[in-house]
Chains A and B, each alone.
Chain A
């Protein structure tokens, strides 16, 4: 059975490292894995999405509406933008950080502040955390991505040590400690 994880956020937020961590972990576990993301223009502060799929045999590299077991969103309204991809019994992990898109900045649109409540009211399983605060606690605002991966790991039937081992493999030595701390904060909150 193929499992589907989506990582969504704003270009430049570090979703690349999160998908690299997942890819490494899942390959080491012996799964067939596909990871798909789009490079180029959309990376310039635009809305970005990465698809991670794993199982015995994975064909399509993309995740469609109603297919994601997990969505990890690095930003509040990006969660809302992609919630249509979530399975009925799926979980969406949301970093409560707000990053205004250009239409909001120039006053052409308003930022829907209460979007998490709306998602919860619709019966969507939302797991919202202030990953930015936890990342700062770990020692760097850039570790938000690993805080969220720590949170995702809670839902996986896989020993925490395997995740930490994968972090050691993909992160530069000088950042391993900060990222392990960030992972723990996400995992334990």
Chain B
């Protein structure tokens, strides 16, 4: 059966067909859908772990026991999981392990543009890189064969354009694979005496995998129609742009295995053509390898190290004719993403902004609190850094900063890596105020359950972390819960907690307005006879409110009736009953 599917769904299918029985992941764009699609199969186990390190270790445990397993993450998630990764390279596997990692060139939804291929090289773990959905499915299956044959975890590396592009893939049948577990301390206990013996194995394995790369069908030469002037070495989505531009008119070495890279195959290819171009997004990984093995190539001198490519990048680099393009004279206002109408985060950000509080932020929808008109954030670094960063900020600033600085972190991000930062605040005693934005879901990545929601990936009831009890047990005495729709309450509690001479946690609790069970209320409207055009409500940055003809106007198709704007209006112009048009 053939199906049009995104690359991430194709990976899920490939993992399933290969007999993968356990997946543990943490959501992160553009990797999330792999795990979501996999969770829809009935005869497998699938979960959201609190973070990528936990996920990778769970996958390791499952493979140790004898079931093929996988974990999926975005590029920055691999930083979190790097600790188990480097030593799993030494232990190798029992049943196969596939690590799916999705890069985000162009940073559509990420805080940096790091290139995951460096990890494959550094950890000495093979990495496959598909260029469309069919390859994603096939490579996922092949990854398990390589994993078990060469005794290694295997990376499956995606990028946004492969992960989120739909193309046609042919589906196959699932096969079951189970390995026996037997105790093997020399292989699985990585104490120095054993690890010393495993390291040579890893080096030998890389040599064998390099030999495999020379002849594997993963890497193939597509002979151009007799054109020997130049050849192109490429991989992943860049391959598609090359083919889009040149069709079958140039010779291409298409690499599906990105670590280890072949030597002889590249040298032979280069010998057959004139100039050799390496076209790869982000860092010059293939280019550097070519240069190391004595093959002269043109790479980053001609193709950017920044952002995503397209056929246009190739056309420009080869000076191909420009297409006719319509240009308008009028400036089109930008449309940045923003917090939704009725977003519970907006209320707390309004209060922080109004009180001129320094706010260390974290990763999630609430990063959008940095946008105008609230401009509420001072810092966003990585998952959990708001809490640990606040501690350092206050240790450096002392009483001067403690009374006017907070951090904000979502429920899922707090579970991911905020807890240890709070432990540090309690243990090393900074007078810090941590705000947990508990909207009862992992929001930005598209509504995944997490340990605070009480439901698992399938939506079934599950264990539920009690945030208040957790904070108390860490040693935070002052834990307050506020409703972010109640501005007065938020401001009062914020001031009280900042004034206290002890660490405190404020839990701003209200479910994400996009959750299905959150029913919108009737939209508000602005009574033009009461509105005096003071624009106080415009400081709130609600997308439902705009200003026309001297008055505020509510877009009733967007408004969910949260009523926070009404708390800002000095003239009670926001009313809940829209008058009948007749």
Contacts and interface: CB of A to CB of B under 8 A. Distances in A.
B79 interface: no
A77 B166 CA distance: 27
Contacts of B108: 38-42
A99 B446 CA distance: 23
Interface residues of A, number: 60
B305 to A, nearest CB: 19
Interface residues of B, number: 61
A163 B529 CA distance: 49
Interface stretch (A55-63, A146-154, A176-184): A55-63
B580 interface: no
Contacts of B323: 64-67, 87
B168 A83 contact: no
A10 B365 contact: no
Interface in B520-550: 535, 538, 541, 543, 545-547
A34 B546 CA distance: 38
B228 interface: no
Contacts of A119: 326, 328
B167 A43 contact: no
A183 to B, nearest CB: 21
A141 B558 CA distance: 12
Interface string A11-22: 110000000000
A128 to B, nearest CB: 15
B547 A107 contact: yes
B166 A122 contact: no
Interface in B125-145: 132
Contacts of B167: 32-35, 58, 61
A78 B324 contact: no
Contacts of A101: 333-336
Contacts of A45: 335, 337-340, 543
Nearest to B337: A46
Nearest to A88: B324
Nearest to A44: B337
Given A60-B240, A61-B237, A62-B161, A102 B336 contact: yes
Interface of B is mostly: loop
A71 to B, nearest CB: 11
Interface stretch (B61-69, B366-374, B393-401): B366-374
B29 A62 contact: no
B496 to A, nearest CB: 31
A40 B444 contact: yes
B29 A65 contact: no
Given A39-B30, A83-B326, A34 B337 contact: no
B9 to A, nearest CB: 12
A105 B365 CA distance: 20
A86 B372 contact: no
B168 A32 contact: yes
B478 interface: no
A43 to B, nearest CB: 7
Nearest to B33: A39
A114 to B, nearest CB: 8
Given A42-B109, A59-B243, 15 more contacts: A32-B168, A35-B165, A41-B368, A42-B108, A45-B337, A60-B243, A66-B322, A67-B323, A101-B336, A103-B333, A107-B538, A109-B334, A118-B329, A122-B328, A124-B326
Interface of B: 2, 4, 29-30, 32-33, 108-109, 132, 160-161, 164-168, 237, 240-241, 243-244, 310-312, 322-340, 365, 367-368, 371-373, 444-446, 535, 538, 541, 543, 545-547, 555, 557
17 contacts: A27-B4, A32-B167, A35-B4, A39-B109, A41-B108, A45-B338, A45-B340, A61-B165, A64-B311, A66-B324, A83-B328, A103-B336, A104-B546, A106-B373, A106-B538, A107-B535, A141-B557
Pairs A-B, 9 closest by C-beta atoms = A40-B109, A66-B323, A46-B337, A40-B29, A61-B165, A101-B335, A109-B333, A60-B244, A36-B165
